[in-house]
Amino acid sequence: MRRGQRGEGNRNNAGYENGAGYGSNAGTRDSAGYGGEQVSYYSSNNSYNGPYGAPGGNTPNGNASGGTGQGSGKKPKKKKKRSRVGDAISMIVMAAAFCVFVYAGYMLYGYYKEYKKADDAYSSLENYASATDETETEDLDALEEAFEEAAEDESALAQLLSGREVRTVTVAGEEVTLPVMESPIDYESLKEINSDIVGWLKIRALDLSYPVVQGEDNDYYLHRSFEQEDLFAGCLFMHYENESDFSDQNTVIYGHNMKNGSMFGSLKKFRDEEVFKTSKYFWIYTEDVIYMYRIFSARVVNKVGQPYQIVFTDEEFEEFLTTAMEESEVDNTNVTVSTDDKVVTLSTCTGDSSTRFVVQGKLTQMYAVKK
């Protein structure tokens, strides 16, 4: 049997380690050449071997020699085609992600800066809202508790207020004699800062304490501070059509629902019964009169409609009060309201542009500011 030159396969299909196989056996006189198929295989050391040689001659005299192996002996490596389009897309995606990251950081910094600015602006006013003489500051806890116990007993209320110093002041154009109370608000100094001030609102259950102003429209103080400087958080402001002495059937006060709980961002906490139990009243301090309001309703309302109506017929006002009582999310079983009551509605936005969250209180008692 003749052997082909190096690089040709033998009948046993073995190859050198360099991967070059022998060619197929040449034919002999007695037998045709080996007619194996052209296939690939691995050698014993796991190197890739080329295909067998071409089939040997299949003639009687066996003169045809086998073909030579063509394998390289190693597994061919596939060339990776780099996609320029894919690379470009990857770069664009990375650039977009980076831009989003930078923008988000910028926005967060902007929000932080605005909140910090608001905190600083109103913190500076705290000096005008603290009692000048702690010994004369009213015990509001005891007073509110006493009013809760005596709410249905007029004689008990009269007894509660008896013995107090009284003072005659003008309310809604009429002179009235009221029990005196110490005011913690330096109203004169606040008026020098902004003459648009109409009162100072204090909600003890929420630790909320802010000045209230009234502009010529409902837009001016939407994003202006008490000092009338540009401020996203704005200021608490009374509806521009309300009487500034809180004498309307329904006085509306607006405030932003700030995410950090400032301004009216904490009003929704009244949905928590435990928070409501801590204090069911809010107070409004004016230059000469202090107003005490008992909360009788907290709820989500449409952004337009009766909750924002100021003047009513008796029938409309009765419907207004009945709806507020029935839809309330806070307990009002011990509260009675009538068309003779004066109401203050505190309003803030919700996550839904078509609705607002309101807290409503009825005037329970007035006090003359001690001079």
How does pLDDT run across 156-170, given as a tens digit for each residue? 777 888 888 999 999
Q: Which of 278, 267, 261, 250 is nearest to 329 (CA)?
A: 267
Q: Is the pTM of this model over 0.75?
A: no
Residues ≥6 apart with Cβ < 8 Å to 200? 129, 185, 187, 190, 209, 210, 211, 212, 284, 285, 286
Task: Identify which has the larger pLDDT, 270 or 116.
Answer: 270
Contact 205, 140 (CB under 8 A): no
d(CA 303, CA 314) in angstroms, rounded, equals 23
With 0-12 / 13-18 / 19 or more C-beta atoms within 10 angstroms meaning exposed / middle / buried, residue 317 is buried
Give phi and psi for 11, each to the nearest 5: -65, -30
Mean pLDDT of the region 44-70: 44
Average pLDDT, the chain: 79
Residue 291 is predicted with a pLDDT of: 98
Angle value at C-alpha 359, between 351 and 292, nearest 5 degrees = 155
| 26 three-class SS | coil
Residue 124 is predicted with a pLDDT of: 85
**pLDDT (tens digit per residue) in 331-359:** 999 899 999 999 999 999 998 999 999 99
